[in-house]
Amino acid sequence: MTPRVPKAELPAELSENMIKQLGAVPDPVAVVWHSPEVATANLDFSARLAGWKAADAGLKTYAHMAVAAQVGCGWCLDVGYFQAGNQDLDLAKASQVPRWRESDVFDPLERDVLEYAEAMTNTPPTVTDELHASLLDRLGPEAMVELTAYIAFVNMATRNNNAHRIASQGFSDACGIPLSGRPAPSAAAPTK
């Protein structure tokens, strides 16, 4: 599938650094590079997100994948599986995120984080006072604020990628993850 906006040519040094880090230039960066100011702000904020340590990195990866599955961002799911491999998460468990409600591999905290990610992603959001309070009690205020901001950023990224029709690049191929079936698109979501 071809992105709706063609990939731009990145500065050589940036391109080389991304290839060293990831093995390829991420398509979202190449597409957004048509506006270097937007691309640079996105990369800067992404780097800052990676430095946040109050919330568990595995929980954030699962939340990212839950948002990606709900929005239908194949690129984000692909990179989420790649992240799971780099974080030494259980790859069989990570493969179940798109169908977490039917799976029995997640503990209660993980299930609540996945539900919270989906509730934040719904339009309009459907976060309940009970779910928020339960997570706040278990995570603490700093981690709860971080997790919420992380999920909000991931929503922006997944929706941006989806609107530009950026597809999976095969990053997850490197970790050999046993991918589960993806959920079918929502009946309410128009297809074109």
Which CATH number characterizes residue 125's domain? 1.20.1290.10
Its domain, for residue 112, covers: 54-175
Looking at residue 184, what is its pLDDT? 47
Report yes or no on 134 lying in a domain: yes
Q: What is the pLDDT of residue 175?
A: 62
The two tokens of residue 40 are 């640079």
pLDDT at position 145 is: 98
Total domains in the fold of the chain: 1
In 104-136, which positions are buried (b, 16+ CB within 10 angstroms) versus exposed (e)?
eebeeebbbbbbbbbbbbeeeeebeeeebebbe
CA distance linking residue 124 with residue 181, whole number of Å? 26
Residue 161, in any domain of the structure: yes
pLDDT (0 to 100) of residue 176: 62
Token look-up 């929980």 returns: 59
Calculate ∠ Cα 187-188-189, nearest 5°: 90
Query: Does residue 20 form part of some domain?
Result: no
Predicted confidence at residue 174, as pLDDT, reads: 66
Which residue bears the tokens 């990224």?
157
For 105, residues 6+ apart whose C-beta sits below 8 A from its C-beta are 90, 92, 93, 96
Residue partners of 178: CB distance under 8 A and separation at least 6 = 91, 92, 95
Q: State the pLDDT at residue 172.
A: 80
What whole-number distance in Å separates Cα of residue 49 and Cα of residue 146?
9
pLDDT at 82: 87
pLDDT at 1: 82
**Which residues of the chain have a pLDDT value below 70?**
174-192
Sign for the pseudo-dihedral over CA of 139, 141, 146, 152: positive
CA 5 – CA 18 distance, rounded (Å): 20
Q: Read off the pTM.
A: 0.89
The answer to whether residue 188 sits within a structural domain is: no
Q: What DSSP character marks residue 6?
A: P
Four-CA torsion 146, 147, 150, 152, nearest 10 degrees: -110
- What is residue 188's predicted lDDT score, i.e. its pLDDT? 46
